Amino acid sequence: MTNSPVTNDGLADEETPFIRNAWYVACFSRDVVQGTPFMRRILGEDVVLYRKADGTIVAMKDRCPHRSFPLSSSKIDGDDIVCGYHGIRFGFDGVCKLVPTQASAPRALNVRTFVVRETSPVVWIWMGDTETAHRTELPAAPWMLDDFGWATAYDYLRVNASYVFLHENLVDLSHLTFLHANTFGTPDYATAPFETEITDETIVVRRTVQPTRLPPIYANPLGMQNVDAARIVTSTFVTPGLSISAVVLRNLEQPVESRVDHHIRTAQLVTPCDQRTVHYHFVVARDFVIGDPGVSNFILQSVKAAFVEDVFALESITRIRRDDPDIHFKEKSIASDRAGVMLRRRLLALAGQEAS
């Protein structure tokens, strides 16, 4: 048994039910290899993904309906998956096609399937109502796709914390000066002016830091070390499965008429594994120095180093919220928490709508 802190009323937390009617990233395209099942736990449920003969991806519950053997430990045969325990064969639609020990396949012996869409480099999954999935477009982030024309790099972290607090972290960048002092934070970031915009669709925080000196992640690839620059950051909560960080970089020492804006964006793809664990996929895309894989790797590793600092913070917070015996402790919000508070209210409302 764990201790649950008393939280602010009306805010989502680690106990909030999952929002199933939303697109989440199940994995990267590279994770699902032809002929090999791939398992991932999503929203508290084990899912197996595999590729059909034509390369399209199938997703279904990772549990044979006969005796609960994991289908991820089974065999792919053409478009079908064959249970590794008793050889029961299921089609890509989850329908049982063959039971080796009897003449007919029982109609009730089917596996639940999930709607998936692959937009390389990511694979999206919808864990809720199928008809709603078919009516709902994928979140718009075309710049992260392989065929968009920007340079991209991507990676994954498993975080032992609630996805609610990861999303809150991603819209609350006032912590950059402190938590990320050794990576991409700068001393002037926390005190820079910012504005918050709340709409029915998104929650947006825009912060302009200028003049500033860029951290190496940006300065080195652009050759902007030790120059006055502008760093304009827009953090957007898009859906329960996606937040976006968009950065504009500008050399202020160049004549105004010759200044060029450089863009780097990060798709932060947040997928709950369970109530206290999250799959954190991220895709970093940029429109400068596009043809240099060394720059791509440098930026990716720099971003990942900063995200590891976020993981430390979130996992530390999770441990304290779980283990502190003071069940009457109540967290207090400050002015810069507005976006995070609204985000948590929205997640709680969405969860409530599904439950009603």
Domains 23-135 and 142-355 share a fold: no
* In this structure, CATH architecture of domain 142-355: Alpha-Beta Complex (3.90)
CATH number corresponding to 23-135: 2.102.10.10
Do residues 74 and 37 touch, judged by C-beta distance below 8 A?
yes
| Count of C-beta atoms within a 10 Å radius of residue 254 | 14
Tell me how far apart the alpha carbons of residues 102 and 99 are, in angstroms, rounded to a whole number: 6
Phi, psi of 311, rounded to the nearest 5 degrees = -60, -45
10-residue mean pLDDT series, the chain (356 residues): 50 97 98 98 98 98 98 98 98 98 94 98 98 97 95 98 98 96 96 95 97 98 97 98 98 96 98 97 98 97 98 98 92 95 97 91
Domains of the chain, residue spans = 23-135, 142-355
The identity of residue 170, as a single letter, is L
Q: How far is CA 149 from CA 78, 143, 144, 289, 329, in A?
A: 34, 8, 9, 12, 50
How far, CA to CA in Å, does 80 sit from each of 66, 83, 131, 223? Answer: 16, 10, 24, 53
Q: What proportions of the chain, in percent to the nearest 5, are helix, strand and coil?
A: 25, 35, 40
The vertex-104 CA angle with 102 and 109, nearest 5°, equals 95
pLDDT of residue 90: 98
Instruction: List, for residues 243-256, the tens digit of each pLDDT value.
Output: 999 999 999 999 99
Nearest-angstrom CA–CA distance, 217 and 231? 12
Task: List strand residue ranges (DSSP E) for 127-254, in order.
Answer: 151-159, 194-198, 203-212, 229-239, 242-251
Q: What is the pLDDT of residue 3?
A: 43
What confidence score (pLDDT) does residue 327 get? Answer: 87
Beta strands 277-286; 151-159: pairing state: antiparallel
Q: What pTM, to 2 d.p., does this model score?
A: 0.95
> Which parts of 165-202 are beta strand (E)?
194-198
pLDDT given for residue 1 in this prediction:
37
